[in-house]
Structure 1
């Protein structure tokens, strides 16, 4: 009996054709009443980058993805308890956090923000992962 539900399973060979990878992953996992959402970037679920060079537009697409994944798992944005945001440039903090803040107004999750040297693809400027709960 599985202990968790995998949401939107994929293989990295298909999603990263420019890299030699072969990993079986998923976009989100529901374990009990907790949902873990994989880092989301400015790419839609068809693989199209939204907002080339625009951190705010990438954050908006990432949050659209988060919303959809949480709903598929039986939760929603209002049940997010933790976010982790990765930026490749500290100057992107304001536009990214302003966009994420619009989506999470009134939610009050805990949050960690990191500036990193790079993300998985050179065109990605930000990434956000979340943990949410499913209310009883």
Structure 2
């Protein structure tokens, strides 16, 4: 097997994360390839699989952005490096609460953004999903706490 050209963050198998579906896919929550970080679509579920904000798109967006922040940090990046977001909503009426929440996390970042309304997401209780791409500046180092 060849050596990967990227770092996989939080690998998992879908048989564990979607027990109500018959799946067997090896995936990860984020990938760092060089200075670019790709974050898988995040929803209102924490990393222990607990849904936050049943029926509340804004609360789900807050949890999704908390996940994004954590994944970027695990990849050696931070929120200021986000260059692209794609947001998926199952109802256009969720646009304001979701974008208001996402906007709090991205104040001063100025990424490009695509928003889509889709018929459904991977689980019926999910109202929104967001994925991001971040580019880490050359020579940037995370703050040492």
TM-score range (shorter-chain normalised) is over 0.9
The secondary structure found in structure 1 opposite 2:53 is: coil
After superposition, the C-alpha distances for 1:43-81 in whole angstroms (9 at most, x for unaligned) are 000000000000000000000000000000000000000
For 1:114 and 1:123, locate their aligned partners in 2 and report how far apart those are by CA, in whole Å: 18
TM-aligned CA deviation for residue 2 of structure 1: 1.9
| RMSD value, Cα | 0.4
> Which segments of 5 or more consecutive residues in structure 1 lack a partner in the other structure?
none
TM-aligned CA deviation for residue 133 of structure 1: 1.1
Normalising to structure 2: TM-score of the pair? 0.92
After superposition, the C-alpha distances for 1:81-103 in whole angstroms (9 at most, x for unaligned) are 00000000000000000000000
Q: Which residue of 2 aligns with 1:61?
A: 63
TM-aligned CA deviation for residue 116 of structure 1: 0.1
Normalising to structure 1: TM-score of the pair? 0.98
4+ runs of 1 displaced by more than 4 Å? none
For 1:119 and 1:44, locate their aligned partners in 2 and report how far apart those are by CA, in whole Å: 16
Question: Rg bigger for which structure?
Answer: 2
For 1:41 and 1:2, locate their aligned partners in 2 and report how far apart those are by CA, in whole Å: 27
Count of matched residue positions in the alignment of Structure 1 and Structure 2? 134
TM-aligned CA deviation for residue 42 of structure 1: 0.1
For 2:34 and 2:81, locate their aligned partners in 1 and report how far apart those are by CA, in whole Å: 14
Q: Which residue of 2 aligns with 1:71?
A: 73
Q: Which residue of 1 aligns with 2:111?
A: 109
> Which segments of 5 or more consecutive residues in structure 2 lack a partner in the other structure?
137-145
For 1:118 and 1:41, locate their aligned partners in 2 and report how far apart those are by CA, in whole Å: 13
For 1:14 and 1:74, locate their aligned partners in 2 and report how far apart those are by CA, in whole Å: 26
The secondary structure found in structure 2 opposite 1:9 is: strand
The secondary structure found in structure 1 opposite 2:60 is: helix
For 1:53 and 1:61, locate their aligned partners in 2 and report how far apart those are by CA, in whole Å: 13
Q: Which residue of 1 aligns with 2:10?
A: 8
